[in-house]
Amino acid sequence: MRRVIAVLVSALCLPAAMAQEGVDAPRTAPPDTTQQSPVTDRAFILNAAQATMAEIEMGEMAKRRSPRADVQQFATAVVVDHRALRKALWSMAVRKRIPLPDEMDAIQHRLATSLSRASGAGFDTLYLNDAGVAVRQRTKALFEAAMASGDPEIAAFARDAAVIVQRHLDTARQLAEVGGEPVGPSGARSPFPAAAGPVGIAG
């Protein structure tokens, strides 16, 4: 009987002894919080509005400042597409009573400022590589994440927008690689050679 009592007392005193020696007592494992929460529908609409705003502003600059006709025509197509996306976003935001931002985010603003100070070939490099590829990859990721939205309207919009952004991304890469010559993949002419007209939202 004394041996049983001793064992019980030892078991009861073990956690206190571990605490005094700086050893953590066994406890239930904390929940896994490594997975990021999906972007909310409201945040998506706000971020998408800023992305379209940036595309339009930087595209308008490229139409005026780029020395290359193919880049100017690409910028014209980008502006047309993103104005259509902005109109669709505005309608969706009104129905969902979500106020849209009137300014770009900090990264977009810095890039737009840099573009406004650039000229010539330096402008094209900045517009095609930074705005055309780096920032657009970020925008594409935003739309792809929203494709999983539980709101069918937002998911459908995100799917359509992701296709458009991917097309712009591919064309920006082509134009950046060409470096002025209107030559596309496999020796074909660029999607925006000097004789071609701008491409709209369809396609």
CA–CA gap between residue 182 and residue 179 (Å, rounded): 9
| pLDDT value, residue 39 | 58
Answer yes or no: is pLDDT of 181 > 70.
Answer: no
| pLDDT value, residue 112 | 92
In tens, the pLDDT along 136-171 reads 898 999 999 999 999 999 999 999 999 999 999 999
Long-range Cβ contacts of 160-167 (<8 Å, 24+ apart): 161/48, 161/85, 164/81, 164/85, 164/201, 165/136, 165/139, 165/140, 166/140, 167/203
In tens, the pLDDT along 8-36 reads 344 444 444 444 444 444 444 333 333 33
List 189's β-bridge partners, or say none.
183
For residue 60 the two structure tokens come to 């308008």
Task: Tell which wins on pLDDT, 191 or 115.
Answer: 115
